Structure 1
Amino acid sequence: MSDETKPTERIAALRPGYQADLAAGLDRFFEPRRTTCPWCGSDRLTTRLRTTDLLQHKPGRFVLDRCEGCGHTFQNPRLSPEGLEFYYRDFYDGLGEKKLGDTFGGRTGMYRGRAESMLPHDPEPKTWLDVGTGHGHFCAAAREVLPGTTFDGLDFTDGVELAEREGRVERGHRGSFPELAPELAGRYDVVSMFHYLEHSTDPDRELRAAKEAVRPGGHLLIEVPDPQSRYARLLGRWWLPWLQPQHLHFVPVANLRERLADLGFTVVAEQHAEPHDPVDLLAAVWLALDHMAPRDDAPWLPEPPNALRRTLRGALLVAGIPALIAGTLLDRFAVRPLSHRLGVSNAYRLVARRD
């Protein structure tokens, strides 16, 4: 079997299973709609965004509501366990494993910056747990910054087992962080959550698990999308960090600082410019082009695209290359140096010490 035919045959093999899932209907993929905010309990909810799956193009429509009481934005109705399994399937693993692995593996500079953000607060941590580690690429890069630190990883996918086999983490813990936290209690100088909380069904429970795993005097390092970014409003559904339907919660920085204080943490650093990933305009152009173009083959489509549709897709994407280049240049050279001043930083990072 040649490399060129493998993807086509894998998609064909998966198609019957996906079609059976879809034939049963989408309603079971969603929980009942909430009438109160999951962060503060207020019933003052407004709709912030309606969108579709702009990355995998799996069927379904998704709504993000905003609490007018505390500013928390959340998916409503939220995906059910069956929905989480369906929409995560073949994204980080399966069909998407190599593509995502290559993407994450090529971001060494960003990973080093994340590790360096700990240096002013603990330049020589002995033990570090990266929650939501994926394939462990952060840990491999961070070891170059902190060679005396032992890095463990935790994730609910089999990527963490791959990370351990590849030597990117010393030990890989697979499963739910809140459920594993008791056996990890007080074991770590640093616990990191990089773009993890937004995926969680219960961010508060994850924060309490982090408190359990961090030793007294240790640190919790959190990075999440910033729902107060101006790009979130200007780009609308084309703002990549919305990432529907996988991102369930968007926590304003003031809310997270307050919750950490309630749990017995002191925030010792807040960063906005440093965690900004300069891809917003490029990603918006790509998402729009990909949305307009005929679909690429995928097992959740009833049949593969014909030759004409493949040709039309290729032609549209080629025509969009100048816009993609322009978006890249603006992101990296015009916006990035001013991202925090302009209020468009797409993420924020907090370093908190457990008292």
Structure 2
Amino acid sequence: MNPSSGRSRPQRPRHETVAALRPAYRAELADGPQAFFEPLRLTCPWCGSARIGGHLRTSDLLQHKPGNFRIDRCHSCRHLFQNPRLNARGLDFYYRDFYDGLGERQLDGMFSGRAASYRRRAASVLPYVGEAKRWLDVGTGHGHFCEVAREVLPDVVFDGLDRSDGVDLAAREGRVERGHRGGFTELAPGLTGEYDVVSMFHYLEHSTEPIRELEAARATLRPGGHLVIEVPDPDSRYARLLGRWWLPWLQPQHLHLVPMANLRRALAGLGFTVVAEQHGSAHEAVDLVAALWLALDEAAPRDDLPWLPARPGRVRRALRTAVLLAGVPALLLATLADRILARSAEPLGLANAYRLVARRD
């Protein structure tokens, strides 16, 4: 779910765009944020145990849309999940203007600037998928990973799948050979046995039904093909040290945070054999600087946002700028600390993600 860099459209001033969006947001919030949630679950969605309890409470620290969110932990299998979970209306509301619309240009810069990370992903699985011919990247967004991965795997044909229209752009720009638009579980029956590799990079945590996504991956893989999964690691020490400021909680978008042991067992139950487990190469060196930025952004007066009642005045906008500028030295130090600690992220238990490569037997 990456933003687009290839769309050409006139850009009007941001405050005009925000003002134009405000009436629609005001109407949608008329019933309050409670309209965006399913009923509270009383059992774990992973194992069915009733031994669940509150683990973390937070708000939307990135967009600052109204609402409060709770992550529960299962005390039987240790699975973490949003509870109550967003319903379809809530998912639409909280995703809107994040990857597209108002947030598109900002997110495009972030995703398109991660070539080194994408190259590292492709290189890390090369020993296991070196003979692959066709690769499906699920949740491909605008296909930035596929574009970079071709440098590492020039003989592989990359296709992409995503719910957003970004996948159409990826196909037009030549980043993917074919773009499949829609939900993976719905499209999988039409793609049975087509692929040597299926990848899910930071996709599974967004899914409402992760096991069904794994079943879809199995269906689209040829026997002997490989599934590559990368997800946030809820067992990272950073998750405990940073609390609600740990970026990979990413509420309200992340619905499930799966401990590695749970995912390994689920894969085994579906007929996969895990051939590689990677922590250090899956780690992104952003934990400290992201936590500090989230805290600064929360402390500063709000930016002009369409889900707020009115545009902040000039004084509040100036105060926001002053707060963020004052934090720049600390942000630079946090960035340096992240890079230094990244060298030992795996032995220190700080890796914020893990990657599994599993062969369909």
TM-score, with normalisation over the residues of structure 2? 0.96
Q: Could you tell me which residue of structure 2 aligns to residue 107 of structure 1?
A: 114
Q: Per-residue CA shift, 1:280-304, capped at 9, x if unaligned?
A: 0000000000000000011101111
| Mapped contact 1:101–1:135 kept (Cα < 8 A) | no
Mapped to 2, the partners of 1:40 and 1:154 lie a distance apart of: 28
Indicate the residue corresponding to 2:3 in structure 1.
none
Following the alignment from structure 2 to structure 1, what is the Cα–Cα distance between the partners of residues 127 and 338? 29
Structure 2 counterpart SS, 1:118: helix
**Is it true that 1:157 corresponds to 2:164 in the alignment?**
yes
2:353 to 335, 347, 350: 347
2:48 maps to amino acid = G
- By how many angstroms is 1:102 displaced? 1.2
Q: Which runs of 5+ in 1 are unaligned?
A: none
Matched, 1:315 2:322: yes
CA contact (8 A) 1:195 1:223 kept: yes
1:308 aligns to what SS in structure 2? helix
Match of 1:271 among 266, 278, 286: 278
Q: How does 1:1-355 map to 2 (within 5 A)?
A: 5-333=12-340, 335-355=341-361
Q: Equivalent pairs: percent with the same residue?
A: 68
Deviating beyond 4 angstroms after TM superposition, the runs of 4 or more aligned structure 1 residues are 2-5
Structure 1 contact 240–284 (Cα < 8 Å) conserved: yes
Alpha-carbon distance in 2 for matches of 1:111, 1:303: 40
1: CA distance, partners of 2:325 / 2:240: 28
Aligned residue identity for 1:353: R
How far did 1:16 drift?
Answer: 0.4
Q: Deviations over 1:144-200 (max 9, x none)?
A: 111111100001111111111111111111111000000011000000000000000
CA 1:13/1:148 → structure 2, altered by over 3 Å: closer, same or farther? same
Whole-angstrom CA distance in 1 between matches of 2:356 and 2:151 = 22
In structure 1, what residue type is equivalent to 2:349?
A: G
Alpha-carbon distance in 2 for matches of 1:83, 1:342? 37
Q: CA deviation at 1:117?
A: 2.0
Counterparts of 1:169 and 1:297, CA distance in 2: 36
RMSD: 1.1
Q: Is the 8 A contact 1:227 1:250 kept in 2?
A: yes
Letter in 1 for 2:273: T
- CA distance in 1 between partners of 2:336 and 2:111 (Å): 21
Separation of aligned partners in 2, 1:241 and 1:256 = 17
1:323 Cα deviation (Å)?
A: 0.9
Q: Quick one: distance in 2 between partners of 1:172 and 1:354? A: 24
5+ long unaligned stretches in structure 2: 1-8
